[in-house]
Amino acid sequence: MNEQESLLRLEGITKVFLTDEIETHALAGIHLTIGNGDFVSVSGPSGCGKSTLLSILGLLEAPSDGSYLLRNRDVADLGMEERARIRNREIGFIFQSFNLIGDLTVLENVELPLAYRGLKAASRRELATEALEKVEMLHRRKHLPSQLSGGQQQRVAVARALAGNPGILLADEPTGNLDSRNGAVVMELLTEVNQRGTTICMVTHDDRYAHYARRIVHLFDGKIVDETDAGFTSASAVEA
């Protein structure tokens, strides 16, 4: 992949956390390129640095060393306001714990990130409604998160991430709290989103779901130890 085709490019990324004079090396010399329309799964055991890597890609963490280029622009040159703008308008986040607000309805949860863009209420409602239709949750738009199953809550979380039409979708263990059937449903949704052109980077420790991606990057002790091509795995295979 040449430089012009790359969307996200990490060069020699390291991340060191300092706590009580103890150094924890979360990432060590990461080189990774993700192209437009790619679907990459980052796989590896707990504590290997997967979530830290995703946080750096999502501009939630800054690396200790190395360079991160987003659309060929070094993110180190971005101010706080520009980083916030990119997170709000260009990157969608899906979290393992859903992160839905309990006293807001499903529709209001999906609308919330759009409010930070300054969109008018009618526009927010239209985009949120379209996103809920995509994940087949529009009929639950007036419900609170507590009235939904785990699988339904994760579908709402996917809708919230998609409502702003981000070019990049970052998913941190999106099936971690789900049974195999609901996990497969969420992965089918992500596959459809990718096929419509959204670039996805997903963190998972579960090999069943890693194989939905086109590429699997294997992380161990903060280093990329292997990278393989992967073919789409059907829901029936995951449930087997």
Q: What is the pLDDT of residue 230?
A: 74
- Which residues have CB under 8 Å from 64's CB, separation 6+? 14, 15, 16
From residue 5, alpha-carbon distances to 36, 83, 92, 180 in Å are 7, 22, 21, 35
- Helices 121-134, 150-162: axis angle to 10 degrees equals 130
Strand partners, 216: 41, 228
Domain ranges of the chain: 37-47+79-215+223-239
* Per-residue model confidence (pLDDT) at position 37: 95
CATH number of this structure's domain 37-47+79-215+223-239:
3.40.50.300
From the first residue on, what is the mean pLDDT of each consecutive set of 10 residues in the chain (240 residues)?
A: 74 92 92 96 92 95 96 94 93 91 96 90 96 93 96 93 93 90 90 94 91 94 91 42
28 C-beta neighbours (distance < 10 Å), count: 17
